Structure 1
Amino acid sequence: MGAESNEVSGADTPAPPAAAREAGRPPAAVGRGAPSAEAADAAGRAEPEAPGGHPASRRPPAVTRDTARPEGGGRAAPGDAPAPVRQWPLLTVLGMTGAGLVVVGTDAFADAFRIGTLLIGVALLTGAVLRRVLGPVGMLAVRSRFTDMITYGVLGAAIVLLALVAQPDPWLDIPILEDAVQFTVR
């Protein structure tokens, strides 16, 4: 009589969580009385489950579980080699950049700023060439090969160009730049 009286009076007994999944409702929505409008709406939007227990949709999962390694992101030397040898492409670019910064920072001679800046730009261009020519480049690989080559190449070329046209006495004379500067300074 107890179970029959609950059905007659309209009060539902709590359903087990398995019944909630089959009904398409979250377990929290199962309880006494009729489900709320939000729970009914969620039940209507529930996606069917694939055999593996995952929703049968084409959307990627909400949580990223792993990050793909960049193309060419493997070691540049065998694993038993010491760490500096394994990362020689990155250390080459960093060494050239560091040398350029030292030249600029010490300002030991008249064109130290221009020479040091050129060295930094050439280091980035070297990184672009290494990224193109070598397969595994270690930690020099940040993104895809194409993206790394374009990024290193454009930044390196821009730094070299700026070093060549720097004032006073630029090594490269581009007339349109002089006109643009005179137009903006007026």
Structure 2
Amino acid sequence: MPAEADAERPEEATARDAVSAPDAEGRPRRTTRRFPLFTRDTARPEGGGRAASGDAPAPARQWPVLTVICLVGLGLLLTALDVFRYGTLLIGVALLAGAGLRWVVPDVGMLAVRSRFTDIATYGVLGLAIVLLAMMAQPNPLLEIPFLKDTLHFTVSQ
């Protein structure tokens, strides 16, 4: 029985150390986990759980990412229909909503790509940048930042 248990147990993901010589059984004397040559298993992502119960259909389990994708799609449609400012504002708000969902909802399904902090920072910064740029779009900007105008005049006139 012990031999069968050893056969079923997966080996550790280690790479041979280029410097170590093999022992009598052919295994390297020293092993390292620094640069494994292949991956036997991957860790489940932090938000890799389901947003709904397992018996719910797939779209219901992935409602956070579907919400963000639908809002971005609607924003792109509005932008294509020549409602540029509102379309881009909706895209930015969708990314900000994705950051909020990633922060509040513990299991967001496929909305979780990286660690929680990295996802929130990425969605938040990109969403905020898109919202600010949409508000500064010409003509008739909703937001004017005075030093940007001075910076533009300084760089163009020199």
- TM-score strictly above 0.5: yes
Structure 1 pair 47–143 and aligned structure 2 pair: CA distance change class (3 A): farther
- Which residue is 1:141 aligned to? 112
Contact 1:48 1:56 in 2 (8 A): no
Relative to the length of structure 1, the TM-score reads 0.68
Q: Verify: 1:132 aligned to 2:107, yes or no.
A: no
TM-superposition CA deviations, 1:20-77 (whole Å, max 9, x none): xxxxxxxxxxxxxxxxxxxxxx8x731559x9x5754343432122222221111100
Contact 1:47 1:57 in 2 (8 A): no
- Which residue is 2:141 aligned to? 170
What are structure 2's unaligned runs of at least 5 residues?
1-17
- Matched residue of 1:77: which SS? coil
- Which residue is 1:99 aligned to? 74
Deviation at 1:142?
A: 0.5
Deviation at 1:180?
A: 1.4
Q: Verify: 1:151 aligned to 2:122, yes or no.
A: yes
- Which residue is 1:89 aligned to? 64
User: How far apart are the structure 1 equivalents of 2:156 and 2:106?
Assistant: 48
Counterparts in 2 of 1:1-186, with a 5 A limit? 45-46=20-21, 56-60=30-34, 61-107=36-82, 112-186=83-157
Residue type of the partner of 1:157? L
What are structure 1's unaligned runs of at least 5 residues?
1-41
- Which residue is 1:27 aligned to? none
The one of the two structures with greater contact order (alpha-carbon pairs below 8 A, sep at least 6) is 2
User: How far apart are the structure 2 equivalents of 1:62 and 1:55?
Assistant: 17
Runs of 4+ in structure 1 off by over 4 angstroms are: none
Relative to the length of structure 2, the TM-score reads 0.79
Structure with the greater alpha carbon radius of gyration: 1
Structure 1 pair 154–161 and aligned structure 2 pair: CA distance change class (3 A): same
Structure 1 pair 182–71 and aligned structure 2 pair: CA distance change class (3 A): same
